[in-house]
């Protein structure tokens, strides 16, 4: 009578293999929501190959100028939209964060498939792990992911959070960041001028341990606006140290170093724009005048009030301040990067660390009506965790169907 290996041994081995080939799921911070409001947000993106500015913008369906200003790249360079950005350059991508199916996400990004594309290469390579193949499959109701038509347009859902636009009750914009192999939570905190405690609270982390592929929400200090709801750029917010372009490229707003006051002025691209002069005044948008008195400093300013039905709204205001304003401090601009330096190895380097020379804004320097101190946050609103891109165990490359078929054949032959 032949020796028979107990069936339980095979079952144990099969269960062990199944457990070891199961995907190791990365984590992504999510924010539950129940309304239809939106907010400005960012995703951190590393170029997978050399791309023109316009190509990167097309990947995310955003304005190329908005991409440049979000990264403090000088837009006055000739033909800057066709400048070729180097592979491995890290960029902050401005996106609109919405409430979809009860959680925050951005669904404005579209991707047109090319020959040899797969959902995995689109998710992991083209979009750098910001989305998973399963999320693209679900968002597009794809029944057979192995069959993609060339030229097919796919919705690419991107992670984002709003958290009421605050961090520790101070203005903030949140950036979704994909953890890299070299990253530590302390290194990320140091790079973005926050604390480990703050990042743990925002991302609902039980410990500082993070894994490559995790997607964290990083709070960035910001300058916010107080524009009316009927303005097309309602909710305008600019991260500290960068710029934003609005009002059909007519207005440029900045959030200077060490301040939380948004400053707006005519942009260098302003050509066919509505009037930017304040009513009943000779002041233009961004102009500030003051007069010292025994009671303090009388300050008059012409400020940005939003973009409404194709018209730029300006607001004239007068106030008595303890001190007269100093010189407006602009975030430093960099030349369009053409190479990536060793600083790329640090957690999420800024573009100014990636091969771009600092330049001065082309706009004239004007007085500032006051500034606030940028403080490092220590606490934050709590988020949640969900599945994101998957890190697959190497054993998963062995086709499970083949394995189990061979296993069943072996069991049957041993039982005979």
Whole-number pLDDT of residue 187: 97
Cα separation, 159 vs 140, in Å, equals 16
Whole-number pLDDT of residue 254: 96
Terminal-residue alpha carbon distance, the chain = 10
Cα separation, 188 vs 199, in Å, equals 9
- Element housing 191 (H / E): helix 185-191
Whole-number pLDDT of residue 36: 84
Model's pTM, two decimal places?
A: 0.77
Q: What is the pLDDT of residues 94-111, one digit of tens each?
A: 999 999 989 999 999 999
Whole-number pLDDT of residue 48: 95
Cα separation, 25 vs 8, in Å, equals 29
Whole-number pLDDT of residue 180: 95
Whole-number pLDDT of residue 390: 33
Whole-number pLDDT of residue 147: 87
Taking the C-alpha atoms of 288, 284, 330 and 52 in order, what is their torsion angle to the nearest 10 degrees?
A: 170
Q: How many helices (H) and strands (E) does the chain have?
A: 8, 22
Cα 222 to Cα 41, 68, 172, 372: the distances in Å are 11, 17, 5, 11
Ranges of residues in the chain with a pLDDT under 70 are 1-26, 342-416
Whole-number pLDDT of residue 271: 85
Cα separation, 241 vs 195, in Å, equals 19
Question: Which CATH code for domain 38-109+157-221?
Answer: 3.10.350.10
Whole-number pLDDT of residue 402: 40
Domain residues of the chain, as ranges? Answer: 38-109+157-221, 225-321
């Amino acid at each position: 009578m032949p020796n028979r290996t107990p069936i339980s041994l095979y079952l144990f081995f099969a269960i062990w293999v199944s457990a070891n080939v199961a995907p190791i799921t990365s984590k992504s911070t999510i924010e539950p929501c129940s309304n239809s409001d939106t907010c400005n947000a960012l995703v951190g993106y590393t170029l997978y190959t050399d791309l023109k500015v316009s190509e990167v913008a097309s990947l995310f369906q955003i304005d190329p100028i908005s991409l440049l200003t979000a990264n403090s790249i000088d837009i006055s360079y000739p033909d800057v939209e066709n400048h070729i950005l180097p592979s491995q350059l890290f960029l902050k991508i401005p996106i609109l964060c919405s409430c979809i199916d009860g959680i925050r996400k951005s669904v404005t990004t579209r991707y047109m498939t090319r020959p040899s594309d797969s959902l995995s290469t689109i998710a992991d390579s083209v979009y750098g792990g910001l989305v998973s193949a399963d999320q693209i499959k679900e968002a597009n109701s794809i029944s057979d992911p192995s069959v993609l038509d060339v030229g097919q347009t796919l919705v690419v859902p991107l992670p984002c959070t709003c958290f009421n636009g605050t961090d520790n009750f101070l203005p903030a914009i949140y950036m979704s960041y994909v953890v890299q192999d070299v990253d530590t939570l302390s290194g990320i905190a140091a790079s973005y001028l926050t604390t480990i405690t703050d990042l743990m609270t925002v991302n609902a982390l039980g410990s500082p341990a993070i894994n490559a592929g995790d997607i964290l929400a990083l709070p960035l200090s910001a300058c916010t606006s107080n524009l009316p709801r009927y303005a097309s750029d309602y909710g305008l917010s600019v991260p500290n140290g960068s710029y934003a372009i609005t009002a059909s490229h007519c207005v440029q707003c900045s959030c200077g170093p060490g301040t939380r006051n948004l400053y707006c002025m005519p942009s260098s691209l302003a050509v066919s724009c509505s009037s930017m002069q304040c009513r009943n005044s000779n002041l233009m948008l961004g102009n500030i005048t003051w007069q010292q008195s025994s009671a303090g400093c009388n300050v008059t300013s012409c400020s940005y009030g939003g973009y409404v039905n194709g018209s730029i709204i300006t607001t004239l205001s007068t106030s008595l301040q303890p001190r007269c304003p100093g010189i407006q401090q602009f975030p430093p601009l960099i030349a369009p990067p053409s190479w990536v330096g060793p600083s790329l190895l640090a957690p999420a380097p800024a573009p100014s660390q990636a091969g771009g020379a600092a330049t001065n804004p082309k706009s004239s320097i004007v007085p500032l009506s006051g500034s606030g101190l940028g403080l490092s946050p220590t606490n934050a609103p709590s988020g949640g965790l969900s599945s994101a891109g998957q890190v697959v165990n190497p054993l998963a490359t062995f086709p499970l169907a083949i394995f189990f078929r061979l296993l069943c054949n072996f069991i049957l032959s041993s039982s005979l």
